[in-house]
Amino acid sequence: MSIGQNIPHDSSRGHVTGGSVFIDDRALTQKEVFVLPVGVPAAAGLLKSIETKEALKAPGILAAFTAKDFHHNHWGTIIPEQPVLVENKIGYYDEPALILVGTSMDALLRAKSLVKFDIEKHPAILSIDEAIAKKNFIYKANPFACGDAHSALQKAPHKLSGSFECGGQEHFYLESQACIAYPMEDGQIEIHSSSQHPSETQHVVAEALGLSLHEVVCIVKRMGGGFGGKESQAAPFAAMAALVAQKMQRPARLCLSKDDDMMMTGKRHPFKNFYEVGFDDDGRILGLKAQLYADGGAYADLSSSILDRAMFHIDGAYFLPHAHIEGYVCRTNFHSNTAFRGFGGPQGTMTIESIIEDIAAYLKKDALDIRLLNCYGKNQNNVTHYGQTLTHNTLPDLFAQLKNDSEYLRRRQEIDIFNSQGTGKIRGLSVTATKFGIAFTARFLNQGNALVNVHKDGTVQVSTGATEMGQGVNTKIQQIVAHTFGVPSPDVKVMATSTEKNHNTSPTAASSGSDINGSAALQASLEIKNRLAWLYHNILIGTTMNDIAECPPVDLNQLNLADFHFHDGNVVHLPSGQNISWTELVKKAYLNRMSLGEYAHFKTEGLGFDKARSLGTPFNYFTNGVAVSEVEIDTWTGESKVLQADILMDLGRPLNPGIDRGQVTGAFVQGMGWVTSEKLFYNKEGKLLSHSPTTYKIPSIQDTPRVFNVSFIENNENHQNVHRSKAVGEPPFLLGISVWTALKNALRYKSTQRIPHIKSPATPEELLMELKQYE
C-alpha cells in the first residue's frame, strides 16, 4: 500500500542537503556564455534606437541581440501578440528590449548601464480606472446570466452596491526565471528550463528561431517554485537563451536576478469589481449584478482565462438564484499579468466574501449566519450560476463541523468582551470558504500522457508531462505506479520532464497535475500489469516455458485479473495460493520477449461548456474547504496579526496526506500574504519600486498564525478522480481570504456609523486610514 501514505517528497532529502539541482546549479559547459535581458526605462512610447557601442567595448561582453535577430519575435499562449523583445512600441517599464551576452554575470552587470535607449515617451495607462475611462480592453467576456437579476434586485427588500478592489501579487518563487540552451547537431536546440509548461517553451523557442517543433527538446527537472508564474512566462526567456545558442553556437545561460525577475515578469491580476446585491431581512441573497475588471497589464497572456475563472468563482460557496456577471480585461502599461495560484478564482470569491461581510454589518448580524443561510445545499440550491450541478456537496458539512470544532460561538463572545474593554486593540473573527473548480476551463488542456518503463531488475521509471515545482506531483505519481505494481515506492522513479518523452503536454497548472498525469501513469501501468498477469497465468497453466513455448498474445477474455494480487513485491495467484516475486516475473516477461514499457493517453471525461450561452459543466469536480481566522489590530499603528487559523478541507481520499497538509498550510499563508502585507508599489512613471524582499513583504515565519490547525474530512465519494483523490494545489489559497474578512470584522467593532470599507491588501496604512474615518 503506497496510496494514502505519507511517503517523503522525492526531493525532501535533496532540498535540505543541497543535492537538488536547479537550473543555475548545472555545471558550466565549455564555451558557455551568460545572457542578460535589459529593460527599457519607460512604460509607454516608441523605442527609436538602442546604442550598444560602449557596452560592446566593455570587458567580457561578446554580443548584443535585439528583436530583429529573431526569426519570429512574438509569442502568447492565447493571443500571440507579445514581443519577446520590444520592437518599437513599448508595453511596460523594464520590458526587455535587448539581450547582452558575456563571459560572466559580473561583466554583464557592469556593461548594462552603458546601454542607451532613445525613446519617444507617451502617456502611460497606470490604473484600472484609467483603462475603463479609455475603454482600453484586451478582452470582454460573454456575460454569465442566470435567472433574472434585474427584477430580483428591483424587488429585493435591501440593496447594497459598491466596489471591491484587490491588488496584484508577486509569485516570489525562490528560483527566478532560468534556462540554459544548448546548441545540438544539425541546428537542433536542447533547452533546460524552469518552466511549468515544457511544451509551450519548446513551441515558443522553435517559432522564435524558425525551427520545427521536432528540432527543439525542452527538459524540466524541477522548479524552485512556479505558482503559476512559470506557466506561460518561462517561454520568452527560453527563446532569448535559445537565440544566443543558435547565433553563437555556444551554450547560453539566462538566470534572472530577483530584481529583474520582479520587474520584468507579470504578477497576479489586480481587480476592481463593481456590484449591486439584493437580499432579504435574514440576509439571503436574492440577486447579484457584478462587473469585473482585471488589470491585464500590457499584453493578453492568460488574462482572458483568468477573468473567466474569476467569473466562475464569484459565487464562492454560495447559491446565487439570480445573477448577471460581466467581465473585462483592461490593457494597462504594466508587466503582463499572468497565472498565479487560484488563477482569478481568489479575486472572484473574495468579492462575494466581502459582500457577505457587508450584508452582515448592514443587518447587524454575524456573518457566519449569513454564510450558512446562503451556502450551496446538498440536494437543493446546488446549481451554480453557470448551470453546473454540485454533486456530493460537502460545503454544509464543512461549515457545520468547523463552527463546532473551532468553538466559533465561544470565541465570538470572548471577542465581543475583549473589544468592549478599550485596550487600543480590536479583534475580529471570520469564516470563509473555497469551492474551487477542478479542470482547465479550456477543455482541450484536460489531457495528458505518460510513459512507464519497467527495467529488468523490476525497478520502474515513469515520465509524464507533469513538472515538479515543490507541490509533490512526482511523489504522488510514484505512489500511484508503486501501488499498481505492488512494489516498494523507492523502486519507482519519476524522471525529469522532457518533450521528447511526452509530447503536446498541458502546463502543470489548474491544480490538476496529479489528476491528469497520475491518471495517465495509472493507465499505462495497468496495461503492463495486465500483461504480467497474463504471463503468470500462462506459466501456471503450462502454456509458457522459457525458450520452448513463448507466451501467446494477451487475451483478457481468458484472464481473470482479480485472481492476481500484486502486493509487497510479490504476485499472488489467489485461487491457487501460488506466488512469484515481482522481479522474477519481470525477468520472465523479458525472456518471453514481452514489452515492459507502455505509453498511455488520458483525457478528463464529462467536460463541456457552451461559451456562447455561458452554461455547462466546465469542471470535473470541486475541492472544498473552510477556514476561520481570528485577528487582532493595533488601532494606534494599524499593525495586525493572525492569532489563530483553523482550516477544514475536503480532499477526497488524499494520495499523500502529508504532502497535502504542506500544500494547505503553504497556500493559506501565501493567500494571507496577498490580502495583508504584499503590496506592489510603482512610481508615477510606472516603474515597480518594490522589486526585492527589502520592500516587498511576503509573510515571514512570525506572521504565520500563532495557533494553526489543519484537518481534513473523510470523503470517499470522489469517483471522478484517480483513486478518489482531489486536487489540492490552488484551492486552499482562497482560504487566506478569511484573514482579510476577519480584519474587516474587527473594524466593525469600531465603526458604528458605516460599513467598514478597505481594499486588499489590508496593510497597516490601509487599516489606519480606515480607522481615521471613525474618529
Contacts for 618 with CB less than 8 Å, ≥ 6 apart: 312, 386, 388, 437, 439, 441, 443, 607, 609
Residue 469 C-beta: closest distance to ligand MOS, Å: 8
Residue 632 C-beta: closest distance to ligand MTE, Å: 29
Q: Can you state the angle between helices 473-485 and 513-540, rounded to 10 degrees?
A: 20
Nearer to ligand MOS, 74 or 171 (CB): 171
Q: Is 514 in the site for ligand MTE (CB under 6 A)?
A: yes
**Residue span binding ligand MTE (CB under 6 A) among the ranges 204-212, 402-410, 509-517, 549-557:** 509-517
Nearer to ligand MOS, 374 or 512 (CB): 512
d(CA 446, CA 459): 29
**Residue span binding ligand MTE (CB under 6 A) among the ranges 320-328, 412-420, 508-516, 604-612:** 508-516
d(CA 647, CA 358): 23
Report the phi/psi class of residue 638: left, alpha or beta, with left for phi > 0 and alpha for psi in -120 to 50.
Answer: left
Paired strand residues for 69: none
Nearer to ligand MTE, 449 or 514 (CB): 514
Nearer to ligand LUZ, 273 or 506 (CB): 506
**Residue span binding ligand MTE (CB under 6 A) among the ranges 258-266, 325-333, 444-452, 506-514:** 506-514
Q: Is 415 in the site for ligand LUZ (CB under 6 A)?
A: no
Q: Is 654 in the site for ligand MTE (CB under 6 A)?
A: no
d(CA 290, CA 145): 11
Among ligand MOS, ligand MTE, ligand LUZ, none, residue 442 binds (CB under 5-8 Å by kind): ligand LUZ
Q: Which of 7, 241, 256, 473 lies at the binding interface for ligand MTE (CB under 6 A)?
A: 473
Residue 173 C-beta: closest distance to ligand MTE, Å: 6
Contacts for 736 with CB less than 8 Å, ≥ 6 apart: 627, 667, 668, 669, 670, 671, 672, 673, 674, 675
What would the x/- binding string for ligand LUZ be over residues 500 to 539, using CB under 6 A? ---------xx-----------------------------
Residue 37 C-beta: closest distance to ligand LUZ, Å: 25
Considering only residues 226 through 245, tell me which ones interact with ligand MTE, judged by CB under 6 A: 226-228
d(CA 356, CA 350): 10
d(CA 706, CA 371): 26
Q: Is 139 in the site for ligand LUZ (CB under 6 A)?
A: no
Q: Is 663 in the site for ligand MTE (CB under 6 A)?
A: yes
Among ligand MOS, ligand MTE, ligand LUZ, none, residue 470 binds (CB under 5-8 Å by kind): ligand MTE
Among ligand MTE, ligand LUZ, ligand MOS, none, residue 434 binds (CB under 5-8 Å by kind): none
Contacts for 198 with CB less than 8 Å, ≥ 6 apart: 218, 219, 220, 465, 467, 497, 498, 499, 505
- Contact present, 167 and 759 (Cβ < 8 Å): yes
Among ligand MOS, ligand MTE, ligand LUZ, none, residue 473 binds (CB under 5-8 Å by kind): ligand MTE
State the residue number with the nearest CB to ligand LUZ: 343
Residue 37 C-beta: closest distance to ligand MOS, Å: 23
Nearer to ligand MOS, 233 or 374 (CB): 233
Q: Is 463 in the site for ligand MTE (CB under 6 A)?
A: no
Residue 446 C-beta: closest distance to ligand MTE, Å: 12
Considering only residues 361 through 380, tell me which ones interact with ligand LUZ, judged by CB under 6 A: none
**Residue span binding ligand LUZ (CB under 6 A) among the ranges 7-15, 85-93, 436-444, 620-628:** 436-444
d(CA 166, CA 740): 11
Nine-digit cell string for 310? 474569476
Nearer to ligand MTE, 263 or 439 (CB): 439
Residue 264 C-beta: closest distance to ligand MTE, Å: 19
Q: Is 470 in the site for ligand MTE (CB under 6 A)?
A: yes
d(CA 665, CA 480): 24
Nearer to ligand LUZ, 620 or 738 (CB): 620
Q: Which residue in 632, 630, 605, 629 sits closest to 720, CA to CA?
A: 605
Residues that bind ligand MOS (CB under 6 A): 196, 226, 228, 231, 339-341, 343, 509-510, 730
Which of helix, strand or coil describes residue 679? coil
d(CA 368, CA 387): 26
Residue 39 C-beta: closest distance to ligand LUZ, Å: 26
Residue 274 C-beta: closest distance to ligand LUZ, Å: 24
Q: Which residue in 405, 371, 442, 741 sits closest to 619, CA to CA?
A: 442
d(CA 705, CA 742): 13
Nearer to ligand LUZ, 399 or 440 (CB): 440
Residue 142 gets which letter from DSSP? P
Q: Is 621 in the site for ligand MTE (CB under 6 A)?
A: no
What would the x/- binding string for ligand MTE be over residues 329 to 368, using CB under 6 A? ------------x---------------------------
- Kindly give the residue spans of alpha helices, DSSP state H, lying in 121-272: 128-133, 149-155, 198-209, 235-248, 258-264
Considering only residues 689 through 748, tell me which ones interact with ligand MTE, judged by CB under 6 A: 727, 729-730
Which of helix, strand or coil describes residue 551? coil
Q: Is 309 in the site for ligand LUZ (CB under 6 A)?
A: yes
Give the angle subtended at the CA of 21 by the CAs of 16 and 23, to the nearest 5°. 130
d(CA 441, CA 141): 14
Q: For the chain, how far is it from start to end, CA to CA, in angstroms?
A: 62
Backbone angles phi, psi at 482, to 5 degrees: -60, -40
Q: Is 176 in the site for ligand MTE (CB under 6 A)?
A: no
Q: Is 292 in the site for ligand LUZ (CB under 6 A)?
A: no
Nearer to ligand LUZ, 349 or 441 (CB): 441
Contacts for 671 with CB less than 8 Å, ≥ 6 apart: 342, 346, 732, 733, 734, 735, 736, 737, 739
- Contact present, 417 and 410 (Cβ < 8 Å): no
- Contact present, 66 and 117 (Cβ < 8 Å): no
Nine-digit cell string for 561? 485479473
Residue 752 C-beta: closest distance to ligand MTE, Å: 41
- Contact present, 440 and 446 (Cβ < 8 Å): yes
Q: Is 512 in the site for ligand MTE (CB under 6 A)?
A: yes
Q: Is 739 in the site for ligand LUZ (CB under 6 A)?
A: no
Give one DSSP letter per residue of 725-752, joined into a string: B---SSGGGGGGHHHHHHHHHHHHTT-S
Nearer to ligand MOS, 226 or 448 (CB): 226
d(CA 109, CA 253): 15
Report CA Rg, the chain: 28
Give the angle subtended at the CA of 284 by the CAs of 163 and 391, to the nearest 5°. 100
- Contact present, 466 and 653 (Cβ < 8 Å): no
What would the x/- binding string for ligand LUZ be over residues 341 to 360, using CB under 6 A? --x-----------------
Total residues in contact with ligand MTE, by rule CB under 6 A: 20
Nearer to ligand MTE, 301 or 770 (CB): 301
Residue 581 C-beta: closest distance to ligand MTE, Å: 33
Residues in the chain: 775
Among ligand LUZ, ligand MOS, ligand MTE, none, residue 514 binds (CB under 5-8 Å by kind): ligand MTE
Active site residues: 730
Residue 340 C-beta: closest distance to ligand MOS, Å: 5
Question: Which residues sit at the interface with ligand MTE, rule CB under 6 A?
Answer: 225-228, 341, 469-471, 473, 508-514, 663, 727, 729-730
Kindly list the residues in this chain that would bind ligand LUZ in the complex (CB under 6 A).
Answer: 302, 305, 309, 339, 343, 440-442, 445, 509-510
